Amino acid sequence: MIQTVKGTRDLLPDVMPLWLRVETVAREAFRRYGFKEIRTPILEQTELFARGVGEATDIVHKEMYAFTDRNGDQLCLRPENTASVVRAYNQHKLYNDKTAGENTKLYYIGPMFRRERQQAGRYRQFYQIGAEVMGASDDPAIEAEVIEMLDWMLKELGINDTTLLINSVGDAALRGAYLETLRALLAPQLDKMCSDCHHRYETNALRVFDCKIESCQTVIATLPTITDSLDEASRTHFEQFKAHLDARGIAYRVNPRMVRGLDYYTRTAFEIVGASGLGAQNTVVGGGRYDGLSELIGGVPTKGFGFAFGLDRMVMALPDAEAERLRASDAPDVFIVFLGDAARQHSFRLAQQLRRAGLSVVLDFDERKMKKAMAQANKVQARYALIVGDNEIAQGTYGLKNLATSEQEMLGVEAITQRISESAKP
Ligand code: HAM
């Protein structure tokens, strides 16, 4: 049997209510905070990420599904979507859209591709929900507002055990001087470091902070952090950002060694980590400011701030009780049990009426004995069984049995619809 490609997976119906719940809550958050949806292609030019995310990053250097197309074009499956959104913003001159107001707020939901080592919570095709504020001002108030929106989403999903980690990685000008210092400190220690770190040293020394190898970590622990060397403007920005979080009652921890795995960040960077239910891959959200990314890919000077969360991981982080409730909510409202030929015919019309009234109705085409049919209703986890026989047809009322309580009453179509709609779903 041909199977799924390594690192990809089928999302089967039993998990879909969980995925849809996260998507629904996210869309609601985006509506409340004024974000509009954008869908960009999965297929992009490799150069977009090479320039945007950075040649030296693991994502571009090691993990991208890049290939030469039949006509020689260098294409890839997008490994992330920030560079794509910034491309679209420029390509369609969204900055001219006056209805967008002070800045353009966009959100997206879709698959991303990275050829990473497969483990729980890490896939080669994974899904992100993300948001980008394009044309953001310098004011860190927008950063705090976006994080407040994430905070609301997490609470709404019942995920209460995460930690917000923040840092400032300074701006591009500062980066140059800091990289010089890093390289000078790394040079005499390179023989203790892995081959990836050698590559990082050559291309972008900041990326050594991404290394997970223990011998490299020992060296990394001795390095000054970029946060220690912030310029005055970035330092002030960071202090204001923290004050905005405090004012919104959002708790955080500063992690000066968090530099994020993408090159485009300037100043504020953040992650949300640690929900139980996740294993080693416990970073749920990553984001930050990326002033200058637009220019890097040939666009107009634009400031930006955004985040993306892993939908796969957010689903894993849902509390067990919530996941249970969501799975149950997918069960049909009614299973129709019919007795006899006339009742069978009648049930088709009845099902049509109830479905048009908004109920989810299941009925089998094979006739079964009462006991077998009731067992079937329980098997499909229907909330109610509706019993239809000759007498019921004659009277125009049917036996509605609540399968959780076993209570049964005789009701007409309208009353059935009302009763079922009233009784809240589990
Ligand atoms: P990222 O940190 O590379 O940032 O990814 C964001 C989130 O996507 C991660 O925190 C994780 O939850 C999820 N994720 C990443 N790789 C995988 C994987 N292999 N399997 C499962 N989940 C994964 C970005 O992509 C930036 N574009 C975020 C951003 C938006 N920054 C500013 N705007």
| Gap from CA of 193 to ligand 1 centroid (Å) | 26
pLDDT of residue 49: 98
Cβ-Cβ contacts under 8 Å for 11 (sequence gap 6 or more): 19
Q: How many CA atoms lie within 13 A of 264 on its CB side?
A: 31
List the residue whose alpha carbon is closest to atom 12 of ligand 1: 310
> Is the shortest distance between the CB of 312 and ligand 1 below 6 Å?
yes
Measured in degrees and rounded to the nearest 5, phi and psi for residue 309 equal -115, 150
From the CA of 59, give the closest atom in ligand 1: 3
- Predicted TM-score (pTM) of the model is 0.94
Q: SS in 3 state form for the chain?
A: CCCCCCCCCCCCCCCHHHHHHHHHHHHHHHHHCCCEECCCCCEEEHHHHHHHHHCCCHHHHCCCCEEECCCCCEEEECCCCHHHHHHHHHHCCHHHCHHHCCCEEEEEEEEEECCCCCECCECCEEEEEEEEEECCCCCCHHHHHHHHHHHHHHHHCCCCCCEEEEEECCCHHHHHHHHHHHHHHHHHHHHHCCHHHHHHHHHCHHHHHHCCCHHHHHHHCCCCCHHHHCCHHHHHHHHHHHHHHHHCCCCCEECCCCCCCCCCCCCEEEEEECCCCCCCCCEEEEEEECCCHHHHCCCCCCCEEEEEEEHHHHHHHCCHHHHHHHHHCCCCCEEEEECCHHHHHHHHHHHHHHHHCCCCEEECCCCCCHHHHHHHHHHCCCCEEEEECHHHHHHCCEEEEECCCCCEEEECHHHHHHHHHHCCCC
CB atoms within 10 A of CB 8: 14
Residue 189 sits at the vertex; the CA angle it makes with 187 and 191, to the nearest 5 degrees, is 105
> In angstroms, rounded to a whole number, what is the distance separating the alpha carbons of residues 307 and 146?
8
pLDDT of residue 116: 94
CB atoms within 10 A of CB 249: 8
Terminal C-alpha separation, the chain: 38
> Is the shortest distance between the CB of 130 and ligand 1 below 6 Å?
yes
Query: What pLDDT tens digit does each residue of the chain (426 aa) get?
Result: 999 999 999 999 999 999 999 999 999 999 999 999 999 999 999 999 999 999 989 999 999 999 999 999 999 999 999 999 999 999 999 999 888 888 999 999 999 999 999 898 999 999 999 999 999 889 999 999 999 999 999 999 999 999 999 999 998 888 888 999 999 999 999 999 999 999 999 988 989 998 989 999 999 999 999 988 899 999 999 999 999 999 999 999 999 999 999 999 999 999 999 878 888 889 999 999 999 999 999 999 999 999 999 999 999 999 999 999 999 999 999 999 999 999 999 999 999 999 999 999 999 999 889 999 999 999 999 999 999 999 999 999 999 999 999 999 999 999 999 999 888 655
| Gap from CA of 89 to ligand 1 centroid (Å) | 20
| Gap from CA of 311 to ligand 1 centroid (Å) | 10
> Is the shortest distance between the CB of 127 and ligand 1 below 6 Å?
no
| Choice from 167, 273, 283, 296 to test ligand 1 binding pocket (greatest atom count within 8 A of CB) | 283
pLDDT of residue 98: 83
> In angstroms, rounded to a whole number, what is the distance separating the alpha carbons of residues 351 and 248?
50
CATH numbers and ranges of domains, the chain: 16-170+251-323 (3.30.930.10), 173-229 (no CATH), 332-422 (3.40.50.800)
> In angstroms, rounded to a whole number, what is the distance separating the alpha carbons of residues 192 and 186?
10
